């Protein structure tokens, strides 16, 4: 049914369709190519307005945004930070860059997001409030912050987590790197939390090639973030540095790309949601396929469309299906191996890791580029149907 001439369908590729060329050319023509220039400020302003957070600091990538967020939040070496167990590795690594230790919490099974019930159980049963802060009684370490990740673009239950952060005096750093354009109760997901972090990596819903941003309500934190990400300069002329700073600033060329991409974000989100709707309609009735969920209180950007495959019912497991689709030139991908299984993070405490492992085993992300055509999507759906028919 599929001949050799059929084109490769990638998992997800950038969509460059607006003023990208014009804005980047302007940087090149004027010589404003580096980390100063009007596009950096403009990009920060545009994003701050789009998200609804008053302060924005552009940085080199999302991981740097998370690292900087932990530093300005005052996380110290040997502190503990609660992190989603089922996530891309960046937030766990950022915690370690700050010298702190992640405590991994597994997801709930409905939307695959960090489980507030498990978080509460950890805080209630393992931690104690003392004069020096919240102490994990098992490790003797201070618990300082929480980084929930809006996995695959679907919002976490941010209200439940905010309440826990208030009750236990934890800083809430929202990893919204996958969730730009997603809403929680009608409001931009990235407007919640003490700090929200974004990424503009090539595989995200919008891209600057590589890039990131830190957003916050706290003017002092934003100022501090700007300071730390520009090598902690204390004097504009003399090379005087008041702290160990970082070279984390975004360049003007990247910011120019960012402005052009951000102008198109509404249509990107609309297209992602349309792709999701079509997959849900077409795949829902195939036995053993669980389509991507969306909570009542959520409006997901469906950044990475991900199904679950029940091997017994479908007739093959997610990895065999991945191979089958690959043979038909359709690129798919598993979700991330849970953090508690990764060599550099195995020493960290973990709660609810079993749910992560089930989702990890069953999940498969399908092609969902903003530029995906109807014909291409039909081919993906038909090939999955065919895989099921051939196997059962």
Ligand X SMILES: *Cc1c(COP(=O)(O)O)cnc(C)c1O
* Total number of residues shown for the chain: 392
d(CA 134, CA 355): 27
Q: In b/e form, how buried is each residue of 134-157, taking b as 16+ CB within 10 angstroms? A: bbbeeeebbbbbbbbbbbbbbbbb
CB of 387 vs ligand X, minimal distance in Å: 28
Stretch that binds ligand X, among 31-39, 86-94, 188-196, 214-222 (CB under 6 A): 86-94
Token pair of 91 as six digits: 């937030």
Q: Please, what is the minimum distance in Å from the beta carbon of residue 352 to ligand X?
A: 18
> Phi, psi (5° rounding) for residue 29?
-65, -35
Establish if 85 lies at the interface with ligand X (CB under 6 A): no
Q: Whole-number minimum distance, CB 353 to ligand X, in Å? A: 17
Q: Which is nearer to ligand X, 90 or 215 (CB)?
A: 90
Confirm or reject binding of residue 199 to ligand X (CB under 6 A): yes
Of the listed pieces 132-140, 171-179, 216-224, 227-235, which binds ligand X according to CB under 6 A? Answer: 171-179
Q: Which of 12, 61, 301, 369 binds ligand X (CB under 6 A)?
A: 61
Among 46-54, 82-90, 130-138, 364-372, the segment contacting ligand X (CB under 6 A): 82-90
Number of residues that bind ligand X (CB under 6 A): 14
For ligand X, the closer of residues 176 and 286 by Cβ is 176
Q: Do residues 113 and 155 make contact, with C-beta atoms less than 8 angstroms apart?
A: yes
Identify the residue among 91, 107, 349, 353 touching ligand X (CB under 6 A).
91
CB of 220 to ligand X, least distance (A): 24
Query: Is there binding between residue 177 and ligand X (CB under 6 A)?
Result: yes
Min. distance of Cβ 61 from ligand X in angstroms? 3
The residue from 118, 182, 201, 377 that contacts ligand X (CB under 6 A) is 201
What burial letters (b/e) apply to 252-281, b meaning 16+ CB within 10 Å? bbbbbbbbbbbbbbeebbebbbebbebbbe
Decide if residue 80 touches ligand X (CB under 6 A). no
Cα–Cα distance, 73 to 172 (Å, whole number): 9
Instruction: Candidates 27, 58, 90, 145: give the one binding ligand X (CB under 6 A).
Output: 90
C-beta closer to ligand X: residue 102 or 315 = 102
Pairing of strands 171-175, 195-199: parallel
Stretch that binds ligand X, among 130-138, 156-164, 174-182, 232-240 (CB under 6 A): 174-182
Q: CB-based contacts of 54: which residues, under 8 Å, 6+ apart? A: 48, 216, 217, 219
By CB under 6 A, residue 62 contacts ligand X: yes
153 secondary structure, DSSP code? G
Q: How far is the CB of 95 from ligand X (least distance, A)?
A: 12
Residue 255: which residues within 8 A CB-CB, separation 6 or more? Answer: 37, 39, 40, 42, 43, 58, 208, 211
- By CB under 6 A, what part of segment 105-164 binds ligand X? 149
Instruction: Write down the least CB distance from residue 173 to ligand X, Å.
Output: 11
Cα dihedral across residues 116, 118, 119, 124: positive or negative: positive
201 or 306, CB closer to ligand X? Answer: 201
Cite the DSSP H helix spans in the chain.
20-30, 38-51, 62-72, 90-97, 116-126, 158-168, 219-228, 252-262, 265-283, 311-314, 318-327, 353-362, 374-391
The conformational region for residue 244 under phi > 0 = left, psi -120 to 50 = alpha, else beta, is: beta
**Block residue for tokens 């950044």:** 303
Minimum separation from the CB atom of position 257 to ligand X (A): 14
Burial of residue 124 (CB within 10 Å: 0-12, 13-18, 19+) is exposed
Paired with 83 in beta bridges are 104, 147
CB-nearer residue toward ligand X: 175 or 294: 175
Residues 362-391 that bind ligand X (CB under 6 A): none
Q: How far is CA 92 from the centre of its chain?
A: 12
87 binds ligand X (CB under 6 A): yes
- Which residues sit at the interface with ligand X, rule CB under 6 A? 61-63, 87-88, 90-91, 149, 175, 177-178, 199, 201, 212
């Amino acid at each position: 049914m599929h001949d050799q001439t059929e084109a490769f369908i990638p998992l997800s590729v950038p969509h460059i369709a607006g003023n990208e060329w014009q804005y980047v050319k302007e940087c090149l023509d004027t010589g404003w190519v580096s980390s100063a220039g009007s596009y950096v400020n403009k990009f920060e302003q545009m994003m701050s307005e789009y998200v609804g957070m008053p302060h924005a600091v552009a940085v080199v990538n999302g991981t740097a945004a998370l690292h900087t967020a932990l530093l300005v939040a005052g996380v110290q070496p040997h502190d503990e930070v609660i992190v989603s167990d089922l996530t891309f590795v960046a937030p766990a690594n950022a915690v370690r860059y700050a010298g702190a230790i992640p405590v991994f919490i597994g997801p709930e099974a409905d939307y695959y997001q960090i489980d507030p019930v498990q978080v509460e159980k950890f805080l209630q049963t393992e931690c104690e409030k003392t004069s020096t802060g919240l102490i994990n009684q098992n490790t003797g370490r201070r618990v300082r912050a929480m980084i929930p990740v809006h996995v695959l673009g679907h919002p976490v239950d941010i209200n439940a987590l905010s309440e826990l952060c208030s009750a236990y005096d934890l800083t809430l750093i929202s990893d919204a790197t996958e969730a730009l354009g997603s809403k929680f109760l009608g409001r931009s997901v990235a407007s919640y939390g003490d700090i929200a972090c974004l990424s503009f990596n090539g595989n995200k819903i919008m891209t600057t090639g590589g890039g990131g941003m830190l957003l916050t309500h706290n003017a002092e934190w934003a100022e501090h973030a700007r300071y730390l990400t520009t090598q902690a300069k204390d004097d504009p002329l003399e090379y005087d540095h008041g702290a160990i700073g970082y070279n984390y600033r975004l360049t003007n060329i990247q910011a120019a790309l960012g402005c052009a991409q951000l102008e198109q974000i509404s249509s990107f989100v609309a297209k992602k949601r349309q792709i999701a709707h079509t997959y849900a309609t077409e795949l829902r009735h195939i036995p053993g396929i669980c389509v991507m969920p969306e909570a009542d209180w959520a409006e997901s950007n469906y950044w990475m469309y991900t199904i679950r495959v029940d091997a017994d019912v479908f007739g093959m497991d997610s990895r065999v299906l991945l191979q089958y689709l690959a043979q038909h030139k359709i690129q798919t991908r598993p979700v991330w191996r849970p953090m508690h299984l990764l060599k550099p993070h195995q020493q960290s405490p973990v709660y609810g890791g079993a749910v992560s492992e089930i989702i990890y085993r069953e999940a498969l992300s399908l092609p969902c580029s903003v530029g995906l055509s109807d014909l291409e999507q039909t081919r993906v759906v038909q090939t999955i149907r065919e895989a099921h028919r051939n196997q059962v």
